[in-house]
Amino acid sequence: MSARTHTRPHPAPRGAVATRLPWWALALPTLAFVALLTLVLNPSDAHAAVGDPALTHLVERAQQLMAR
């Protein structure tokens, strides 16, 4: 007895898949990125529990380099 082979009823689509993202799928990561960027650029607004002088020095140095 021979085995029956199964064929695909429809060929797989080729090309780009058309998907639409909701507005908040791009807005929320952008908002989070901007909020974190403002904290990095102005570390006086971020209040840490323990101040690490090495980290503070690194952030200040990064600010100086970006200001140039």
CA dist 15 → 2, 7, 8, 18, 67 (Å): 37, 22, 18, 9, 45
Residue 45 pLDDT > 90, yes or no? no
pLDDT band at 60 (very low <50, low <70, confident <90, very high): confident
Q: How much is the pTM?
A: 0.38
Overall average pLDDT of the 43-60 stretch: 70
- Mean of the per-residue pLDDT values for the chain? 78
Provide the 3-class DSSP secondary structure of residue 11: coil
Overall average pLDDT of the 21-50 stretch: 81
Residue 63 pLDDT > 70, yes or no? yes
Q: In the prediction, which pLDDT does 29 show? A: 93
